[in-house]
Structure 1
Amino acid sequence: MTRVDSHQHLWQYDPVEYGWIDPSATALRRDYLHGDLARELDAARIDAAVAVQARQSLAENDFLLAQAEASAGRIAGVVGWVDLQAADVDEVLGRYAARPRFVGVRHVVQGESDPGFLARPAFNRGIERLRAHRLVYDVLIYAAQLPAAIVFVDRHPSQPFVLDHIAKPAIASGRFDQAWARDFREIAKRPHVTCKLSGVVTEVRDAAWSADLIRPYLDLALEAFGPARLMFGSDWPVVRLRTEYGDWVRTLGAITSRWSQAEQSAFWGGNAARAYNLGPSGNSVGSSGRLRGPLGG
């Protein structure tokens, strides 16, 4: 069974470039490069990973693709950023889609002050061009943005979407996020949307977290999306604000230990390989580049 981390970040830390990193987040205020990632993957017995943008610039794409090239196949895909509202979006998408490891695009919608951002005509025109380039779109939102996201994905029924971090519910002891659960179940009814079980511990509002605290959210995610559309992700190194890479892998390993072998294989690698078109092995690269079979299956 090939194991793929569907969500992690790399950066050369700069306080201006990464202004979203709070000064108190000392664990994140340093460089994280492909060699650092490889050590975490090796220790946790994870075979490959998908690197996801942390800056909204084309320079981020070039940086992540260079890291992927230097990683000896450990970084199997890159989800980058493109200005989907720009007049030249098709040209830019084509340029990056020609790179074997460029598998998708993400915009930090959770950071947009406009509550109608996902309904913008220009943004949706850009989304309409992704399918022609065989690119996935990663949906990064807070739980409160789920209703708008449901309308958004319904506008593009043939476009493959991946929902990041189970849409970031507000996790707190003594209170289950019922609004998130309602809307999360609804978006999960869309077969062209898959979901990452990633970044969950950083949404805990209590001083400490435990497997028991987050388990109801993980259980609901499995119930809603099923084992065929739920994938493992770490959100490393951001996850270090709450736990270490290996601990997160072990937590999910314990929770999924009673799943069937087929369900575990899908969750730990098969679903990511299919969603991001990484090829049958989950490792995207050889001299011929990424295998480009049909998306969204």
Structure 2
Amino acid sequence: MASDIPIIDAHIHLYPKSELETLAWCTPDSPLAKQHSLEEYKAAFSSSPNPVKGFVFLETDRKNDLEAGVKDGSGWKYPLEEVSWLKRIALGQPKDGEGHTKEDASLCAAYIPWAPLPSGPAAMEKYIELAQKEAGDSWKKVRGFRYLLQDKPDGTGLTDNFIESLKLLGRKGLVFDLGVNQHERGRIQLEETVEMIDRAHEGVPDNEKVVFIINHMCKPDLTVYNVLTDTSYIAWRTAMFTLSKADNVYMKLSGGFPEMSDSLKKRSPEEIFEAVSPWLSVVLAAFGPSRIMFASDWPVCTVGVDGAWGKWQKLVERLCYMASLTDDEKKRIWAGTAIAAYGLEL
């Protein structure tokens, strides 16, 4: 990879120690139950031969109460607190001990907060108004929202309220970051994703169709040995080509390490690539360089993996090399696709 190709990391998480108790998943025994700041993130990519020009922050699943939020907004306290945290990063207004500086503000290309899509468009309008007020001058860096579906009951993303919320985002020019998990939840998550996107776009003018940015390749099971006969791989591969038929659906090349066996993730980037190339190759073939984007999923990628950021970078580099991509195509994967999909202003 030419050293002059810049990188936009399209998927990272950050949180200060002072707000750990607001994270829904955070238990004392979690390997991620400690501050993960910009200072640590910069150290993670410090050995990159290519300049990291910026990142896209994704919401970190803060505690919330949808019902209380609709009633009086109280159930949205912690997600809105996360907006305030990102505002401090994006505007260069750190508090002591949070691990970032005024100069770090330029690294924040965009941030994607949580939003209560299951509550419907009226609640979404109310929430977006509160989020915009909380974000202040950093609102221009809010390029969309996420509501994780990977751990929610089947059918959550197919309710009329959810679909109408997606259509609202499209009308407002805001993207939806989509997180599903085939590895743990099975093909139902893929099937519902296809239906959800179809319904959200049905009958909608092209300029109002919500942009979907799919996280982590839908989290396929990367422990599969024989992809020629494995039904989960075949279902995943079919879904990738189906999902790619809509022009405004993008895919993140990210999230691979948690779906691998412990032994594989400890091996060299070359050996890992050999094992997971059937998945990476399908994503590239289905979406092409113009609709896939590099993303590290830091710090989740670090669990059980030494030098995870650099190791994932080398995997994506090898994919570009093996596919004989041109420099322009490489630039799309490393930064251009994220800029286009999120509408970044750098």
TM-score normalized with structure 2 length: 0.75
Structure 1 distance, partners of 2:177, 2:106, is: 22
Aligned residue number for residue 213 of structure 2: 162
Post-superposition offset of 1:43: 3.1
In 1, Cα distance between the equivalents of 2:29 and 2:253? 26
- CA offset at residue 75 of structure 1? 1.2
Q: Offset at 1:181?
A: 1.1
Residue 266 of structure 1 deviates from its aligned partner by: 0.3
Long gaps (5+) in structure 2: 63-78, 93-103, 202-208, 228-232, 266-271
CA contact (8 A) 1:2 1:265 kept: yes
Aligned equivalent of 2:291, options 223, 229, 235: 229
CA distance in 1, matches of 2:198, 2:129: 25
Secondary structure of 1:73's aligned partner: helix
Aligned to 1:79: 112
Higher share of residues assigned helix:
2
Q: Paired residue for 2:55, among 36, 49, 56?
A: 49
- Conservation of the 8 A alpha-carbon contact between 1:4 and 1:46: yes
The one-character-per-residue Cα deviations of 1:18-50 (angstroms, maximum 9, x if unpaired) are 342566542x22101122223334432321100
Alignment of 1:185-200 (within 5 A): 185-200=241-256
CA distance in 1, matches of 2:253, 2:115: 24
Residue 91 to residue 132, structure 1, CA distance change in 2 (3 Å): farther
CA contact (8 A) 1:79 1:103 kept: yes
Q: Is the 8 A contact 2:273 2:318 kept in 1?
A: no
- What CA deviation, in whole Å up to 9, does each residue of 1:101-150 have, x standing for no partner? 111100110010x2111111112222121123221001100122011011
Contact 2:89 2:105 in 1 (8 A): no
Q: Does 1:105 align with 2:145?
A: yes
Letter in 1 for 2:116: D
Q: Does 1:90 align with 2:156?
A: no
Query: Counterpart of 1:270?
Result: 336
Which amino acid in the other structure matches residue 245 of structure 2? K
- What amino acid is the match of 2:142? F
Q: Show the counterpart of 1:211.
A: 273
The structure showing larger relative contact order (alpha-carbon pairs under 8 Å, at least 6 residues apart) is 1
Name the CA distance, whole Å, in 2 between partners of 1:106 and 1:248: 24
Q: Which moved more, 1:144-153 or 1:11-20?
A: 11-20
Does the alignment pair 1:153 with 2:197? yes
**1:111, 1:173 → 2: CA distance?**
22
Q: Is 1:252 aligned with 2:316?
A: yes
**1:48-94 deviation per Cα after TM superposition (whole angstroms, max 9, x unaligned):** 10000012422222222322222321011001111121533113324
One-letter code aligned to 1:106:
R
Q: What is the rounded CA distance, in whole Å, between the counterparts of 2:172 and 2:224 in structure 1? A: 44
Taking a change above 3 Å as real, the CA distance of residues 214 and 105 of structure 1, as seen in their structure-2 partners, is same
CA offsets per residue over residues 133-178 of structure 1, 9 Å max, x none? Answer: 2210011001220110111111122111101000000111523322
Q: CA deviation at 1:218?
A: 0.7
Deviates more, 1:9-18 or 1:247-256: 9-18
**Aligned residue number for residue 134 of structure 1:** 173
Q: Which residue of 2 aligns with 1:69?
A: 91
Aligned to 2:43: 39
Name stretches of at least 5 consecutive residues in structure 1 with no aligned partner: 284-297
The 5 Å alignment of 1:284-295 reads: none
Mark the structure with the bigger radius of gyration. 2
- Counterpart of 1:286 in structure 2 is none
| Higher mean C-alpha deviation, range 66-75 or range 100-109 | 66-75
Aligned length: 278
